[in-house]
Amino acid sequence: MKTSHLRGSIVPIPTTFKDGKVDEAALQSLINWQIENGAHGISVTGTTGEPSSLTSEERMRVHQVAKEAIAGRVPFMPGTGSNNFAEGVMYSKNAEKIGADALLLIAPYYNRPSQEGLFRYFTGIASQVGIPVILYNIPGRTAVNIEPETVARVKEKCPNVVGVKESNKDFEHINRLLHRMGRDFLVYSGIELLCYPILAIGGAGFLSATANLLPRETANVFNLVEAGKWEEARELHYHMLPLNDAIFYEINPVPIKTGLAWMGKINFEVRLPLCEMSAQNQERLRTVMQQYNLI
């Protein structure tokens, strides 16, 4: 299964809201801006996209709007996982139907399944679609870690499982995963400070929330490495570090949406139980963004 087009900076776009409804025009505008600034791919309804705050109809509509906005310019990788197996199947089949290039399938959250449960969940969905599937390991949100042996079992049963997004701060785990699966397996960083390091050990790229504010710079970390310009990529990695930290002053995507609103890209709106940042953290974020001339 061809996967070379799925490498690089795949940007996790936030779901834009206005007056309680999905703001489709703002979502399209964000996607266009990202592609114009060098994004290698687009993802929606991942963690940054507040998927658990969307109705099923809204989530599938976001996929449709994103697909139309992308218009084949870059790969489209929507998040289709859920802690509800039947919903995960539905989202995945629908995404394939509308022309997604790959699926991002999160480990079920809240349920805290065993490794056997994860194996059955992932293979149960992946076996029902015919496009590439990227597993999404984010223990901080799901309270469960997808172990390398489980990934290997899933891949053996479902060859269309071609990679993992690792939002796991345990860099030893990521090394062991790549060693177990081989460097042709697509392993992406979902941890901003590991985007550059993961490329050094054979990673395929990253889904970094920072790209929402610094799209070109984030993409260029990958571009410079691909060009063999490792020192330049490393300096860019450190240049971005303060902003990488700042977007997590509070839970993602609240700081990202705050920053995008200050930049005039979107209307700030999140859904409960999320809410606006504290005044103190807003001031801290504003100071960092001003250092990058973003506002």
Domain annotation covers residue 209: yes
Residue type (1 letter), 186: L
The per-residue pLDDT for range 245-258, each reduced to its tens digit, is: 999 999 999 999 99
Domain annotation covers residue 187: yes
Please say if the pLDDT value at position 60 is more than 90: yes
The per-residue pLDDT for range 81-101, each reduced to its tens digit, is: 999 999 999 999 999 999 999
Q: Which of 122, 135, 200 is nearest to 166 (CA)?
A: 135
pLDDT band of 126, cuts 50, 70, 90: very high
Please say if the pLDDT value at position 2 is more than 90: no
Question: For this structure, is 18 an active site residue?
Answer: no
* Catalytically annotated residue among 165, 188, 196, 257: 165
Question: For this structure, is 165 an active site residue?
Answer: yes
Q: What pLDDT was estimated at residue 3? A: 83
Domain annotation covers residue 281: no
Domain annotation covers residue 248: no
Distance CA 45, CA 172 (A): 28
Cα three-residue angle 290-218-242, rounded to 5 degrees: 40
- What domain range includes position 44? 4-227
Q: What is the CATH number of the domain that holds 75?
A: 3.20.20.70
For the chain, what is the domain count?
Answer: 1
Domain annotation covers residue 269: no
Query: C-alpha distances in angstroms, 232 versus 94, 196, 224, 228, 236?
Result: 41, 11, 7, 9, 6
Domain annotation covers residue 260: no
The per-residue pLDDT for range 185-223, each reduced to its tens digit, is: 999 999 999 999 999 999 999 999 999 999 999 999 999
Distance CA 27, CA 34 (A): 11
Mean pLDDT of the chain: 97
Domain annotation covers residue 197: yes
